[in-house]
Structure 1
Amino acid sequence: MSRFSLRQLQYFVVIAESGTLSNAASRLHVSQPTLSQALTELENALGVQLCVRRKAHGITLTPSGSQVLHHARQLLRQAEDLQSAAAGAGPLTGVLSVGCYVTFAPTVLPPLLQGFSADHPGLTIDFTEDTQDVLQRRLLSGELDIALLYDMEVSPELARTTLYTIRPHILLPADHPMAAQPTVSLEELTPEPMVLLSAPPSSHDTLAIYQRLNLVPRVTYRPTTYELTRALVGRGMGYALLVQRPANDRTYEGYPVVIKEIAEPVPDARVVIAWPRTMRLNRRADEFVRYCTRMLG
């Protein structure tokens, strides 16, 4: 039998995520000497050095430490599943780690978190917003249970199910000459300055639309956030091609913007929920997938 404990694995995961023993001790509400001793005992039990400890620079994982971290996260989740199975079909407990693509997180994530938490008050939901490439890396490393993504450039190592589809649109300042038209042609807009949301994979997909139409946009600005993109458009500094459709028709600064349908045929964007193929969904994640499918499908 292994000579390490689940608590030692838990301490190691928190130390790795916190970067320093002091931060980890604060999160776990234990003393630094206790954490240091647990880490040393885990290294002795496994026969490898998991991290390099530097007083001024915190801890740095060794290659072996990175591998152990991935498996430790899986073991801790399996331990939670075992406890849940032993309790039968009782209330959901434990922690569910959810990722969401940054541009649609403000419109999609809040109602899901609120509704699912109301149905399962004993469950803790940790969530993070980020770009698609970062979320996929965190899924595969075991940091996240599931993530809501666009069905674009998704790793074959991830399983996924479609939640809904949505058509891209053009965002214009309210005083733009084409703002009153029912539809707007990308070909007509191409000579004008464009504000390109540069948050992978949004930018790649946007440019692919132009490529299919044999058009070359005149990209003037490349903001990395959705709201800055809207703010630049609101000030009349260009138009944008976006997917998410927030209910508000004004920017943070109060400038009005309008959503216009695209005259040319463009493919719909699909929003999916994804998880590693090699990892069986635990009960918490499986219930969340069912809830998302029911609410967004």
Structure 2
Amino acid sequence: MAANFSLRQLEYFVAVADTGSMSAAAVRCHASQAGISTAIADLERRLGVQLLIRRRAKGVALTEAGSRILGRAQAMLTQADEITAGAQAEEGRLAGRLTIGCYAALTPFLIPLLVDGFTRLHPAVNLELIEGEQDEMRQALVQGSCDIALLYAFGDEAGLSRTTLRASRPYVIVAADHPVAERESVSLAELADEPLIICAEPPARHNADHWFSLAGARPNIRYRTSSIEAVRSMVARGLGFATLIQTWPTDTSVEGLPLASVPLSDPLDDVELVIAHASHVVPTQRARAFLQYAEKTLAGPGGPDTVN
């Protein structure tokens, strides 16, 4: 018996489930909020079950039936994409949808470069982007909300397969007139009493605690901000210092004030930048092509540096 619902309705339902609201799903799907709402209401009528609980001013939540159907809807959309991609692959080109996740602090430094280059090579691939904290991206991979993701590697990642793109050693930034600015290296223990400025988003706090512990000291965290540019600007004004993972592309803050980067003498391990996918999922040809492109573009000394 032919299905009495459309793939478009499933796409809207999955988008609402992923984003948590009709309005956010409308933006993601380039549709009107009313169109999203009407399509899902019709889908519920045709399936004979309620998929969503509508909560005024609080977004939506999945019903038990909605939770059960969500995975099947995602699988059907993936299969539809693969049919389209397979047909176009017969013409010798990659096509279809590829959803890329990225740790938010890395997004400005990795995504524009990778998207620009990859879409030039494979214009028929429809790239979609999501970003968030490290744990959110891991969860998105396991749940199937994205195909691959760019992350930092910290310990074992249960359920994920990873490919290392590059590795960098932690270092500190200080104001240009700081006493250690011209030093060849410095220990975290020497800076332990000074104000530390960190990103409020994980894993910055974990990193600080771990690195200072290895140096036999405790961090004096003074300021937290979700903006890495704010971190750098505060450091440039002499309000404290900060620990970063990979080299920033400029040695000035957004205000144009100079900064100094100083290597750490402490025995800290390198931190790996990785591209990951769910272990239980076989990557599509599109995902494999993006992984290979990211390896070629980011690996080695010529690749762009990123930020903690």
Q: Deviations over 1:209-261 (max 9, x none)?
A: 11122211111112222111111111101111111312211111121111110
> What's 2:14 paired with?
13
Q: Does 1:265 align with 2:267?
A: yes
What is the CA–CA distance in structure 2 between the aligned matches of 1:50 and 1:184, rounded to whole Å?
Answer: 57
Deviation string, structure 1 residues 12-57 (Cα, Å, up to 9, x no partner):
2244447238964994657947963x53454355553211246766
> Counterpart of 2:93?
91
Q: Is the 8 A contact 1:103 1:244 kept in 2?
A: no
CA deviation after TM superposition for structure 1 residue 154, in Å? 5.8
Question: CA 1:58/1:241 → structure 2, altered by over 3 Å: closer, same or farther?
Answer: closer
Secondary structure of 2:105's aligned partner: coil
CA contact (8 A) 1:81 1:283 kept: no
Alpha-carbon separation, structure 2, partners of 1:176 and 1:206: 20
Checking the alignment, whether the CA contact within 8 Å between 2:20 and 2:60 is kept in structure 1 is no
Normalised by the length of structure 1, the TM-score is 0.88
The residue type equivalent to 2:49 in the other structure is: V
- Is contact 2:20-2:59 (8 Å) kept? no
Verify the 8 A CA contact 1:21 1:35 in the aligned structure 2: no
- DSSP 3-state at the match of 2:232: helix
Residue 31 of structure 2 is aligned to residue 49 of structure 1? no
Structure 2: 5+ residue runs without aligned partners?
300-308
Identical pairs, percent: 36
Quick one: structure 1 residues 239 and 40, their matched pair in 2 at CA, closer, same or farther if it must change by over 3 Å? closer
The corresponding residue for 1:79 is 80
Query: 1:201: which partner in 2?
Result: 203
- Aligned match of 1:246: 248
TM-score (norm 2): 0.85
1:153-192 alignment runs, 5 A limit: 155-192=157-194
**1:217 pairs with one of 211, 216, 219:** 219
Residue 65 of structure 2 aligns with an amino acid whose one-letter code is: S
**Post-superposition CA distance 1:135-158 (Å, at most 9, x none):** 122222322111100001564122
For the aligned residues, what is the CA RMSD? 2.7
Amino acid at match of 2:281: M
Q: Is the 8 A contact 2:233 2:253 kept in 1?
A: yes
Partner of 1:127: 129
| CA 1:151–1:40: 2 relative to 1, 3 Å | same
Moved more, 265-274 or 65-74: 65-74
| Unaligned ranges ≥5, structure 1 | none
Indicate the larger mover: 233-242 or 271-280. Answer: 271-280
Paired with 1:105 and 1:25, the residues of 2 have a C-alpha distance of 19
Q: Which residue of 2 aligns with 1:139?
A: 141
Does 2:106 match 1:104? yes
Aligned to 2:228: 226
Matched residue count:
296
Check conservation: 1:191, 1:218, Cα contact below 8 A.
yes
Q: Match of 1:276? A: 278
Structure 1: distance between partners of 2:65 and 2:288: 31
- With 2-11 and 153-162 compared, the bigger mean Cα shift is at 2-11
Q: 2: CA distance between counterparts of 1:58 and 1:210?
A: 41
Structure 1 residues 287 and 22, CA gap change in structure 2 (3 angstroms): closer
* Whole-Å separation in 2 of the counterparts to 1:25 and 1:180: 49
Q: Which moved more, 1:79-88 or 1:265-274?
A: 79-88
The Cα offsets for residues 163-183 of structure 1, whole Å up to 9 and x where unpaired, read as: 111111111110001101111
